[in-house]
Structure 1
């Protein structure tokens, strides 16, 4: 399946899901988003690939991020996104591109971290407050992600999202340096 087909299928599935979850009719969503009813039907049937502007309007009208609207459906507590499932948004013949690696719905503080783990090194984290979400992307080596005692191998190019309110750790069990980027979304203090 091409990147464009993958993007079209994800958008169709997620748009219909979020529209139904919000209880919006086609007409109601069209009015809220300023997008024609016919365009929404075509998108939900995966017959068209709308502009980024149209996609943003629909996400805003549904009250979700564009990431949520384009991302694969939420799954288990730890969701791995292999390189082949990341969603390429656009590319040029000269090699420029943007790729949606992984995303989640979250409110509150958001931290972005860069990690380097040398072979044999690791770091553990106590549980964060309920509602904390962590997203990570491995750029070099193979990371061992441990969430509540369950190990997940993430080779370079793989992304993951998980709830950080449980014990978790990052380890380099390999022979190559691990480089990764980590985002932590913490719920606001009430």
Structure 2
């Protein structure tokens, strides 16, 4: 079984488990997530590899982290995640990428990310659930952070925090790669 097959199987198993635990029908989850019922069926049957955007929407609708949807083994105490088990969820031919380093569910979903944005590239995000916060630390380059239509320059060595329940995005308008670490905190489901 390839790594992609294992990831697809974990996503299928975890989506169904969390959907049933939350008491959602396929139709109810589809409506909450803004994805089709057919897509959810394909994911639960491990017949598709959904886009990162679809996985984010489903995780948000369930009130869990992407880590929870993709990871089968969630140990209760200290959990070490070796570099080779980090999950790359987004990449471009130019070399930009985002990697989910770790995540947890207590008290609500909390994710730690490593990002690389090559010059001229960007990644936009739809609003996350109300109360979601992101923390960003730029390790190299100069990041252009867009939050609800407003640009903010975040130079190397600078950190930023913002409510990400509005449209937001990350751009590299500079000449050198931007490396950043990001944490995303989603409120616990009510």
- TM-score normalised according to structure 2 size: 0.49
Per chain length, whose mean CA-contact separation is higher, i.e. which structure has more relative contact order (CA < 8 Å, sep 6+)? 1
Q: Please tell me whether Structure 1 or Structure 2 has the larger radius of gyration of its CA atoms.
A: 1
- TM-score normalised according to structure 1 size: 0.49
